[in-house]
Chain A
């Protein structure tokens, strides 16, 4: 029944929302009449049987057990890799959840992405799969990049951004 799987009447929540495909979407709006279907990009190809999810906006304090408790509602979990601060080796607010099937990962996008874990709205995105090294934050101080310059106080993610905290402590010294 390929005809039935055509363009849905409402957006699907189980699509990868990577920067690449959002760029593609914009381009598509500009030539609406010509081509209705978006052709698959290399990113789509990589993700079409993805079983792994990137999960973001976790609290630093959220434990593996909590993640397990929530994410196993969508299927048995094959592997859970906590995102760690590159230097301290402590959780830094993201993780990879790997399921056994692509369908479980899609269901997770649909049913768990955008809901709360540990009282924070978490974000999920299809991921091409965990690779060694990706469990570490890529920010300058070891955590995630977004936690470097954040100028809002987020008690679940170490207060203000690290760079900003540093700035402040310099300022203190010169007072």
Chain B
């Protein structure tokens, strides 16, 4: 037996474990299926600890054809200057030990507190464990030479640590950062801060810190905008300069963000002004909103596919409610006018919108129909205007609170007002660095009768959603902080907006009664899924949303988990009508999520679906989920988390954890076995090409004797299978084997189309039980340009597909979308390298020639995909018709295949349209025009490039 780790003394160590862990026995009692020993048991599996070659230079870098325009932009970015600021997190420890409660409550509604401390306690207690987790790299126990114990963690820097008076700048920063997060009335807090600022306004340090923090808060913690605006509002009464300085600074940012097309930041600065509407002379912000709308009209009349105008309308509509809440009834008329103007744009449907439906809009099983975000906003605001603009959810402040407080000694005076900062709209308008698309409003829970989230006609739906989404987007650099603000969602809205945190779903109506109140956990989960499910692409790498959900679950397991469980079940029930790309995002999230929570899921409730045909989306999902789980773990472990009934979904062979069998080991069934074995030996000892060729020639001779038309097919099969077999130990091994066979493979691929496809076939053939590994290997072969994208697609959707059954397999989708993403990402990189200021003409010519060639190649790919998929969707492929005739495929399965074809088709038509809109001639020309119009070359050009790079990354990662 190959030796597993921990061999020496492991026996007596095991014994010691028993005694040592005795003190933890109590915490173990509540564990359900998973015993720690399950995890330890793997030491019995030999495959998992392979010896590696000792010198790393034998392991080449992964090849990288699709990465020609490297990471120049990263050089421009310096993230190293921000000091850590942790004082926001007083007393919050992200503890792992509550987690089993989470998972069980995701499945069972009632959770006793009994199992709270189980966690992964088998590794030993509290701090010690944490230190091992976190500090193994640079931390040396004896090295620090002091008695402070483990280093402090991130969140426990409590603010006023020492007994001395907190300096003014620190106090201002702390108090404004923490506004609305304590039990104090936010209004009182705002007044206190304003007065404190007034008293210290002459201290440059304090003033500077205050405004820095203010600006940063607006863009990073959008939920707090009404509150920080209140500070400035009261500040205006306390000392007029407090407000005038804020207005000036924010006014500058407003202009800068507009010029740069940073729409999110622009919207947030605008919101801050909306909350200060009473401070402005005349129409205040409404004049600006009208100015923006005029721009929209210009943009839309110049281009019917314009998306910037749509973005601006969204911003206008989302600003109005804040301005009305602070400005009061005298602006109702203005708002009404604006609203009647935006109606046409908001009601308009762009061609692109038909491609971004979350659900099949025609099907009645859909969870929610398609609504565009601006369409729904327009409706909600119209309804609100008919109801006298109540806008209940936005927090309100008493304009006279400060005067009331002071009224004992002074007479109330009219607070001073300010001119709204001048704002100019540049021409042409910079659309920003990220490609814009119309957005759909998505909610999993909106149509549920329990009313835990606002109905789609309720303005609260859009306002709260928008603020949550901004918080998620802006705080992606600290998912735990984002999660914390989301969990505290109810603190940032008016008092009766939300029911008490953690109100159980089934008691919700009972608790809330007749009032309109929402369940904050449902709104959080709803919002996160709306982002995870955003089409055509999510704003961040999808894994961010995975991590965010995990963080939310860690922070408030008992509140969040049940909502999450309901979300999962709702999605699962509607899988057959969900956009196919989204089912794979869901799959990826679901399995990654479970991997963070001991792979616990109540599979038993889906056992009924095991009887379904593998072509049923639910069954296909279960099969795919198990495969994904195994990839993150190992077969035996995943099996241990499943009910008996699901056992057969995991091939028993996988438990062995051996390399897949080499088909040539069985000489009875498979010809050429002697030669294939010889090839392995030759690869192993790195035999010269001539020797290998001799063996290949033998195969060719044999094949000729048997009348094989293309003798390269059997020889390629043997050669590639041998590479797979020899490289089965790990990716590093297969990489070095491919490296050895590279020249031959390239030669073969250039000689015969069929042999080229055979390479793909052999890889998937060898790894048929673990298609994930095959996908990685194909990925490597694509990067080496041994395979062309078209080869992969032709094999996967051709020979491999049968009558179309393959459409239901997740790896088929995975490999196609990876291939397409590679091609798309390369094209985007080429475009980015074109849109650079001051490129010499010969470079321009070269880049454009490459672009035009590669763009055509991509179009050809998409066309091929669309044709194949359309035929499948219509059921007009020969193979399907034959099999249906012969009864090999039942009528129902035939229908299912067509349905898969249709869903596939939708996805790739969309992807094709998206790429057209980003790298198509029109799009590129528009960007070149914009570039030409840019005044100052250096900083702007660099900025655009940095951000464009980001967008490309996302395609590459989120491409599936």
Is B923's CB within 8 Å of the partner chain A? no
Query: Would you call B544 an interface residue if the criterion is a C-beta within 8 Å of the partner chain's C-beta atoms?
Result: yes
Q: Are B39 and A1 within 8 A (Cβ)?
A: no
A116 to B623: give the CA distance in the assembly, Å: 23
Interface residues of B in 205-264 (CB under 8 A from A): 205, 209, 212-213, 215-217, 219-221, 253, 256-257, 260, 262
Contact of A77 among B62, B75, B123 (CB under 8 A): B62
Given contacts A11-B481, A101-B953, A119-B633, contact A106 B79 (CB under 8 A): yes
> In the bound complex, what is the Cα–Cα distance between A78 and B53 (angstroms)?
19
Q: How many residues of A contact B (CB 8 A)?
A: 101
Known: A61-B49, A152-B129, A155-B40. A73 touches B953 (CB 8 A): no
* A9 and B217 contacting across the interface, CB-CB below 8 Å: yes
Question: What residues of B have a CB within 8 angstroms of the CB of A166 in the complex?
Answer: 9
Mark interface residues in A73-86 (1 if CB within 8 Å of B CB, else 0): 11111111110100
Q: Are A7 and B82 in contact (CB under 8 A)?
A: yes
B139 at the interface (CB under 8 A from A): yes
Asked whether, in the complex, the Cβ of A150 is within 8 Å of the Cβ of B167, the reply is no
Q: Which of A51, A65, A75, A100 contacts B731 (CB 8 A)?
A: A65
B167 in complex: contacting residue of A33, A74, A121, A152, CB < 8 Å: A33
Would B953 and A90 count as touching, CB distance under 8 A? no
* Complex Cα gap A146–B209 (Å): 42
Interface string of B528-547 (1 = CB under 8 A from A): 00000000000001111011
Which A-chain residue is minimally distant from B958 (CB atoms)? A73
Task: Determine the residue in chain B with the shortest Cβ distance to A13.
Answer: B478
Give Cα A82–Cα B215 distance, bound, in whole angstroms.
Answer: 44
Among B16-24, B509-517, B746-754, B867-875, the one that faces the other chain is B16-24
A residues less than 8 Å from B772 (CB atoms) = 65, 69
How many Å from the CB of B12 to the closest CB on chain A?
Answer: 6
| A149 partner, pick from B122, B141, B544, B596, beta carbons under 8 A | B141
> Would you give the 0/1 interface string for B924-960, flagging 1 where the beta carbon is closer than 8 Å to chain A?
0000000000000000000100000110010011000
Asked whether, in the complex, the Cβ of B546 is within 8 Å of the Cβ of A111, the reply is yes
Q: Which residues of A contact B6 (CB under 8 A)?
A: 60, 155, 158-159
**A140 in contact (CB, < 8 A):** no
1/0 per residue, CB under 8 A from B, across A95-106: the answer is 000001111101
User: A residues within 8 A CB of B588?
Assistant: 73
Complex interface: stretch among B64-72, B355-363, B576-584, B831-839: B64-72
Q: Is the CB of B79 within 8 A of A88?
A: no
Is the Cβ of A165 less than 8 Å from the Cβ of B177?
no
Q: A9-B221, A110-B478, A158-B6 are in contact. Are A116 and B132 (CB under 8 A)?
A: no
Residues of A within 8 A of B592 (CB): 70, 73
Chain B residues in 8 Å Cβ range of A101: 70-71, 73-74, 949, 953
The total number of A-B Cβ pairs within 8 Å is 317
Give CA–CA (A1, B70) in the complex, Å.
24
**Judging by beta carbons under 8 Å apart, are B167 and A32 in contact?**
yes
Contact A61:B216 (CB < 8 A) given known A8-B82, A44-B80: no
Which B residues lie within 8 Å of A8 (CB)? 82, 85, 216, 220, 477-478
> Are A103 and B953 within 8 A (Cβ)?
yes
Q: Is the CB of A10 within 8 A of B481?
A: yes
**B265 interface contact, C-beta 8 A:** yes
- CB neighbours (8 Å) of A172 from chain B are 12
Residues 1-51 of A contacting B (Cβ, < 8 Å) = 1, 3-16, 18-19, 22, 25, 28, 32-33, 36-38, 40, 44-45, 47-49, 51
Tell me, in angstroms, the Cα distance from A169 to B45 when the chains sit together. Answer: 25
Known: A110-B478, A153-B20. Is A47-B80 also a contact (CB below 8 A)?
yes
Q: Is B84 an interface residue (CB 8 A)?
A: yes
Q: Report which of B257, B633, B949 forms a contact with A118, defined as CB distance below 8 A.
A: B633
> Given known contacts A10-B220, A132-B55, is B596 in contact with A156 (CB within 8 Å)?
no
| Bound Cα distance A156, B43 (Å) | 9
CA distance A74 to B543 in the complex (A): 7
Complex Cα distance, B338 from A175, in Å, reads 91
Nearest residue (CB) in B for A49 is B74
Closest to A158 in B: B6
Q: Which residues of chain A are within 8 angstroms of B48 by Cβ–Cβ distance? A: 61-63
Q: Which residues of B contact A60 (CB under 8 A)?
A: 5-6, 49
Decide yes or no: A165 and B9 within 8 Å by CB, A3-B253, A7-B212, A12-B477 being known contacts.
yes
Q: Is the CB of B77 within 8 A of A7?
A: no
- Bound together, the chains give a CA A66 to CA B956 distance in angstroms of 20
Is B598 positioned at the interface, with any CB of A under 8 Å from its CB? yes
Nearest Cβ distance between residue B882 and chain A, in whole angstroms? 38
Contact flag A40-B81 (CB < 8 Å), given A4-B253, A111-B541, A112-B543: yes
CA distance A40 to B167 in the complex (A): 25
Cβ contact of B541, chosen from A40, A64, A90, A107, cutoff 8 A: A107
- B567 within 8 Å of A (CB atoms): no
Q: Which residue of A lies closest to B956 (CB)?
A: A76
Nearest to B485 among chain A residues (CB) is: A10
Pick from B50, B85, B128, B134: contact of A7, CB below 8 A.
Answer: B85
Cβ contact of A146, chosen from B9, B52, B70, B132, cutoff 8 A: B132
Report whether A150 and B631 are in contact in the complex, using a CB–CB cutoff of 8 Å: no
Q: Distance in Å from the Cβ of B41 to the closest Cβ of chain A? A: 9
Starting from the known contacts A37-B83, A100-B67, 18 additional A-B residue pairs (CB-CB under 8 Å) come to A4-B215, A7-B82, A7-B85, A7-B216, A56-B136, A61-B48, A64-B730, A70-B592, A76-B956, A78-B64, A80-B732, A104-B953, A150-B132, A152-B124, A152-B132, A153-B16, A153-B21, A168-B16
CB<8 Å pairs between A and B, sample of 15: A13-B478, A16-B80, A65-B772, A73-B546, A79-B59, A89-B51, A89-B52, A90-B49, A102-B71, A103-B71, A103-B74, A103-B77, A103-B953, A110-B478, A118-B632
* 7 nearest A-B residue pairs (beta carbon): A155-B40, A102-B74, A152-B124, A44-B80, A159-B13, A158-B6, A73-B543
